[in-house]
């Protein structure tokens, strides 16, 4: 399966790309250089990894804790910026690039990390993303802070494993959209038991979205307001820290055919837009206001002011 089925399931845009329209991301930071190398796992076995440069302060105590002050710098924006990391401005299309890693070679993974930076997967907790943000701090049962941990070396197998998982979710969702059961091989790739394919379609749909929802919770995705020179503040989906957080938010948008979180220009209420992305500079209206002839009402209001 793949793009043809995803097109039919309406998971892609007009250019057949797995592309969502999310206006804000807390931090996708790209290092000045990445390289392939070896790094020991907990059993002291050397693994093929992508190696990332880190500040000298971080090197003193590995693995790195997600202390909310871990990025604090006296010289610049943060410690990563001090050693040449750059905040990525153009952040659309990470899902499209990520699913291609399912059958990638080492150099293709290196190219991905050069463009998108680390996955920032926590090595301590299951299905967890390391993030130096106050909202990501966990408290253990004993009342003490349960820090997430990250090594500046991410196994190549991680990239292939999770790319295959995301690709399997898309393939499974395309089948479930048509009311067809998901085969055992896909359930195994997603992380469920192979016999899940024996359940009713509605139950299989629940299993699938549970996987996506679990990762959405791990990303720390939030709604965020910004207010510039406009009359009203703009509502954003903030995808959290790193490219892997954004992968799951883009995936959720693709599966739901939700093109963008918008604010209606008439009633000023937020809504999920499921058709085309609003054209820049043009008014957009929620389904309720559209049904009430919003354009004509706005035109009438303008005429009454003159």
Mean pLDDT over 197-202 rounds to 93
Mean pLDDT over 43-48 rounds to 93
Q: Is 39 helix (H, G, I), strand (E, B) or coil?
A: strand
**Arithmetic mean of pLDDT over the chain:** 85
Spatial distance between the Cα atoms of 154 and 37, rounded to a whole number of angstroms: 10
Can you give the residue ranges of every domain in the chain? 15-160, 259-306
pLDDT digits (tens, 9 = 90+) for 74-104: 887 899 999 999 999 888 889 999 999 999 9
pLDDT digits (tens, 9 = 90+) for 142-184: 778 899 999 999 999 999 999 999 999 999 999 999 999 999 9
One DSSP character per residue, 55-81 reads: -HHHHTSSSEE--TTTT--SSSS-HHH
Better-predicted residue by pLDDT, 151 or 303: 151
- The helix (run of H) or strand (run of E) holding residue 170 is helix 156-177
pLDDT digits (tens, 9 = 90+) for 224-279: 787 888 877 777 778 889 999 999 988 998 888 765 556 677 876 656 666 566 66
Whether pLDDT at 28 is above 80: yes
pTM to 2 decimal places: 0.80
Q: What percent of the chain has pLDDT over 70?
A: 85
Mean pLDDT over 45-73 rounds to 93
């Amino acid at each position: 399966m793949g793009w043809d089925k995803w097109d039919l399931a309406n998971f892609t845009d007009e250019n057949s790309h797995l592309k969502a329209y999310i206006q804000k991301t807390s931090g996708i930071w790209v290092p000045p250089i990445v390289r392939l190398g070896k790094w020991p796992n907990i059993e002291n076995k050397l693994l093929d990894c992508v190696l990332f440069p880190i500040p000298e302060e971080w090197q003193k105590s590995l693995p790195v804790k997600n202390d909310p002050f871990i990025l604090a710098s006296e010289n610049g924006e943060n410690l990563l910026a001090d050693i040449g990391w750059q905040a990525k401005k153009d952040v659309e299309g990470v899902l499209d690039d990520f699913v291609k890693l399912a059958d990638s070679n080492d150099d293709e993974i290196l190219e991905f990390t050069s463009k998108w930076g680390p996955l920032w997967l926590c090595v301590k907790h299951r299905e967890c993303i390391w993030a130096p943000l106050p909202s990501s701090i966990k408290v253990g049962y004993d009342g003490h802070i349960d820090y997430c941990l990250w090594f500046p070396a991410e196994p190549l197998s991680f990239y292939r494993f999770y790319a295959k998982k995301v690709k399997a979710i898309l393939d499974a969702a395309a089948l479930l959209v048509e009311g067809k059961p998901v085969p055992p091989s896909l359930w195994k790739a997603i992380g469920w038991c192979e016999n899940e394919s024996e359940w009713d379609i509605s139950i299989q749909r629940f299993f699938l979205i549970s996987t996506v929802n679990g990762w959405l919770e791990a990303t720390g995705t939030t709604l965020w307001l910004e207010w510039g020179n406009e009359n009203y503040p703009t509502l954003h989906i903030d995808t959290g820290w790193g490219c892997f957080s954004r992968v799951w938010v883009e995936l959720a948008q693709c599966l739901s055919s939700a093109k963008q979180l918008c604010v209606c220009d008439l009633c000023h209420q937020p809504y999920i837009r499921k058709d085309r992305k609003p054209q820049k500079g043009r008014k957009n209206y929620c389904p309720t206001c559209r049904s009430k002839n919003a354009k004509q009402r706005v035109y009438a209001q303008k005429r009454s002011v003159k």
